[in-house]
């Protein structure tokens, strides 16, 4: 009897732990999961992604439309990506991927082709470097990807 109760409690604990690490809107892993997983990401690159002009979508089409777009972008990142996709919050996402996979450029094209929005992406050896590269993409006109190696060469 006690063994069954212990198993039930462990199952419940695992269920709630997984819920705590999953973004409710998109089903992707969330910021907390990323922080938990960071210790396991040796030798990976990070692709930081921001949905272009997302505030305009929310302001003109409403939050339900914005939620639908975030779900569509998440689906593309999850199915087309070559790593683990996370939603940080709002319209920001991160993909942890093996170095040299060109995931950022592929994600920009896939989102453009499969949704009604565009994204700006940046790849770096750390999340902060990837975030800086994403801002370079925004400054250079959006709907593009900037890789830290290419930025160094400029």
Residues 100-111 have pLDDT tens digits of 888 999 999 999
- SS3 of residue 46 by DSSP: strand
Architecture of domain 2-153: 2-Layer Sandwich (3.30)
**Residue 91 appears among annotated catalytic residues:** yes
The count of C-alpha atoms lying within 13 angstroms of the C-alpha of 22, restricted to the half-sphere facing its C-beta, is: 10
Separation CA 102–CA 96 (nearest Å): 12
List b or e across 10-21, with b for residues whose CB sees 16 or more CB atoms inside 10 angstroms: eeeeeeeeeeeb
> pTM of the entire structure?
0.88
Catalytic-role residue among 91, 92, 116, 153? 91
Q: What is the pLDDT of residues 34-53, one digit of tens each?
A: 988 886 667 789 999 999 99
> Hey, which residues does 98 pair with through a beta bridge?
44
């Amino acid at each position: 009897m006690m063994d069954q109760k212990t198993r039930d409690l462990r199952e419940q604990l695992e269920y709630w732990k997984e819920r705590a690490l999953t973004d409710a809107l998109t089903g992707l892993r969330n910021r907390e999961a990323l922080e938990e997983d960071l210790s396991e990401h040796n030798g990976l690159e990070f692709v930081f992604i921001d949905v272009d002009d997302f505030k305009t979508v929310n302001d003109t089409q409403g939050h339900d439309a914005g939620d639908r777009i975030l779900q569509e972008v998440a689906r593309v990142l999850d199915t087309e990506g070559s790593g683990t996709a996370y939603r940080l919050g709002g319209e920001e996402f991160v993909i942890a991927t093996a170095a040299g996979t060109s995931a950022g450029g592929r994600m920009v094209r896939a989102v453009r082709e499969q949704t009604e929005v565009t994204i700006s992406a940046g790849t770096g050896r750390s999340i902060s470097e990837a975030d800086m590269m994403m801002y370079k993409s925004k400054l250079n006109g959006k709907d593009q990807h900037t890789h830290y190696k290419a930025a160094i060469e400029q």
